[in-house]
Structure 1
C-alpha cells in the first residue's frame, strides 16, 4: 500500500480541482451515493474509508449536519486537505492509516467510500467487506461509490474507451491526461460488479443492490440485517 500512499500524496493539492474532468457524470454519481446513504437517525455515526480530501464527507455533512464523522485514509497529505476543509467542524475527526489492515472501530450507522476500494487486490476487498459489516450497527448501511471491471473483456475495453474519450474532451493537458492513465494502469485493480455483489452477500449483508452505474463507475449499497427489527415485524416480540 506504500505505493498508493505516495501516489496520492503527490496529487493531494490538485485532486479536487480535477474531479469533474476525470469522473464522467460526477454530480449524479456522487448524488446517487448521497441518496443511498439513508439512515433512521439525524445524528448518524459515519465512517468514510479512503476519505481522501473529504469530498464525499462534505456532501454527507450537508445531508446530516449533526453527524459524527470519521475520515480514514492512508495519505496524510490528502487528509491535510480534508482538515482544512473541515477546520470549523468539531464533529469530524481524522485517522491516517491503511484501512485494509487497521481496526475500523465502530459501531457505525453508515460506512461509505468513494473511488478508493478498487485499489485493493481481490482478497483485501473481500475481507474489507466483511470487516465493514462487522463495524456497522444492526440495520447499518455500506455505500460504496467505486469502479468495476466489465463482465467480459469486450465490455471492459468499451468502458476504457468511453473513459478515455471523456478525459480527452475536457480541459486537462496532455501531460495531465497521461498521468491519470499512468495512475489508472498502475493502481487500479477493478473487479466485476457481479463478483463485488457476491462478496457483499458473503460478508454478511442481508440486502445488496446497485443504485447507479455508468460503465466503469458504480454505486453499490449493502444493508446489515437488524434481527430485532425483523423479530418485531414478524410479531416475535
Structure 2
C-alpha cells in the first residue's frame, strides 16, 4: 500500500480543502456519524481509523472531550498535519499503521469510527478488518463508518460516478482535481455495495447493523456489539 501512502503524503497540506470540494454534503455525513450514537453512550476509549488530517477527530473531541483517542493513519505526513492541528490536546495518541497489519487488543475500544478510508483495502481484507474491529470493541461497543460504496450493478455505479463529478464541480473542484482523484481511484480503491458491508458485519458477530445515511455513493453504516 506504499503508493496509497505516497499519494496522501503529497496531499497532506491540502487534504482538508480538497476533501471539502470532493465529497458532496461532507459536513452532513460527519454530522450523521454522531447523531446516531446512543444518547446514553459515554465511550472512554475511541479509535479514529484512517484519521487523515483530523476532520473526524475534531468532531470526536467536540462530542467526547474526556475520551482517550487513538488517531491512526497510514500516512506519516497526514499524521503530522493532524498533530499540528491538535497540539493542545493531550488525550490524542497518533499511530502510523496499515489497516492490514495493525494489531488491536481485544476489548480495547468502546467506539471505533472511520471516515472515507476503508475502501482503500480489498474486500477480503475488509472482512478481516471487520472481525478485528468486532474483537477490539467492548461489549455494547459501537462501530460507525462513512465510506464510498459501489452500486448494486455497473449501470448504477457509473451513474454514481457521473453524479459525483457534477456535485464535485459545484463545490469548486477543477478538472485537474477530478483527474487526480480518478487516477488514484482506478489504481487503488475498492468500492463495495452497501449490502455486502452489512452482511460482512453480521458475519463478523455484530448483533445490530444498519445504514443510517446515504448520498450518491457515500454511506454511513452503524454496527453494535452485544
Query: Following TM superposition, where does structure 1 have runs of at least 4 consecutive aligned residues deviating by more than 3 angstroms?
Result: 37-43
SS in 1 for 2:3: helix
Change over 3 Å in CA distance of 1:101–1:19 after alignment to 2: same
Q: Is the radius of gyration larger for structure 1 or structure 2? A: 1
Change over 3 Å in CA distance of 1:85–1:39 after alignment to 2: farther
CA contact (8 A) 1:42 1:66 kept: no
SS in 1 for 2:214: strand
Task: Determine the C-alpha separation between the residues in 2 that align with 1:152 and 1:43.
Answer: 38
1:31-50 matches, within 5 Å, as 31-38=31-38, 40-42=40-42, 44-50=44-50
Matched, 1:209 2:187: no
Equivalent position of 2:117 in the other structure: 116
Task: Determine the C-alpha separation between the residues in 2 that align with 1:196 and 1:9.
Answer: 28
TM-fit CA distance, 1:173: 2.9
Count of aligned pairs: 225
TM-fit CA distance, 1:201: 0.2
Q: Answer with 127-136 or 179-188: which moved more.
A: 179-188
Task: Determine the C-alpha separation between the residues in 2 that align with 1:70 and 1:40.
Answer: 22
Change over 3 Å in CA distance of 1:18–1:170 after alignment to 2: same
Give the structure-1-normalised TM-score: 0.91
Task: Determine the C-alpha separation between the residues in 1 that align with 2:108 and 2:38.
Answer: 16
1:1-237 matches, within 5 Å, as 1-38=1-38, 40-42=40-42, 44-105=44-105, 106-225=107-226
Change over 3 Å in CA distance of 1:153–1:200 after alignment to 2: same
CA-based RMSD of the aligned residues comes to 1.3
Change over 3 Å in CA distance of 1:74–1:205 after alignment to 2: same
CA contact (8 A) 1:51 1:71 kept: yes
- Superposed CA deviations along residues 145-179 of structure 1, whole A, max 9, x for unmatched, are 11110011121111111001112223233222211
